[in-house]
Amino acid sequence: QKEVEQNSGPLSVPEGAIASLNCTYSDRGSQSFFWYRQYSGKSPELIMSIYSNGDKEDGRFTAQLNKASQYVSLLIRDSQPSDSATYLCAVMLGYSTLTFGKGTMLLVSP
Amino acid sequence: NAGVTQTPKFRILKIGQSMTLQCTQDMNHNYMYWYRQDPGMGLKLIYYSVGAGITDKGEVPNGYNVSRSTTEDFPLRLELAAPSQTSVYFCASSSQEGLAGTYNEQFFGPGTRLTVL
């Protein structure tokens, strides 16, 4: 059974701080990793994809992947109140289907 | 591009009724997916398709049916609606290869909120 685990939160950070969101996965053969942002009542929006070990940066977002530890994280620098949302980690084995975690709620206070 | 569109946005069904949730994408993606999301839970895959004429079951297919006659459309059919099917339904699509070395990035439609009473 493929599993993706996330702390449900909420994770509370002050405006301007770094938010760190974490995700672990069970299937060692997983090859593709994604972070989605979901505002309340809205659909998931893709914000980052990462496929190899290391860091990938896009603006204020950095995804980090460690396949040996089966761990993927998302850092949000200079957090803004508009970043307040639920962040979903998703993992793909091969070219198959995505398995989603339940998400971590992030609250950024002004 | 409109991306992934879904209709209707909201629907209330009575127990035992049937309905079809529509999903259309204009990105020429081969892969399409149907998920349901219950409060506080992650997304659960219902059915998916890797191309016209090809469909396969996901994690929670019972009570649903799909068809894929064109690349663009992937309707989800609910037969004999039950209260357990009250949920938010999302359609998504992806291509195997995307821009700048990405692949299998799924893009979601706005969702259909379904209540079965």
Residue of A nearest to B112 (CA): A43
B112 membership: H or E segment, kind and range: strand B112-116
Q: Is the peptide bond before B110 cis (omega within 30 degrees of 0)?
A: no
Question: Does residue B56 carry a pLDDT above 80?
Answer: yes
Tokens 């980052």 sit at which residue?
Answer: A48
Question: Does residue B104 carry a pLDDT above 90?
Answer: no
Q: Alpha-carbon dihedral of residues A66, A7, A2, A63, nearest 10 degrees? A: -30
Taking the C-alpha atoms of residue B90 and residue B102, their distance in angstroms, rounded to an integer, is: 22
pLDDT value, residue B116:
97
Taking the C-alpha atoms of residue A1 and residue A87, their distance in angstroms, rounded to an integer, is: 22
Q: B111 touching A, CB under 8 A?
A: yes
Considering only residues 60 to 89 of chain B, which have any Cβ-Cβ distance to chain A shorter than 8 Å? none
Nearest to A21 by CA among A103, A78, A81: A103
Which of A51, A95, A103 shows the shortest C-beta gap to B42?
A103
Residue of B nearest to A4 (CA): B42
The DSSP code sequence of A9-20 is --EEEETTSPEE
Judge contact between B36 and B89, C-beta under 8 A.
Answer: yes
Contact assignment for A34 to B48 by CB distance below 8 Å = no
Contact assignment for B42 to A102 by CB distance below 8 Å = yes
pLDDT value, residue B42:
85
pLDDT value, residue B1:
78
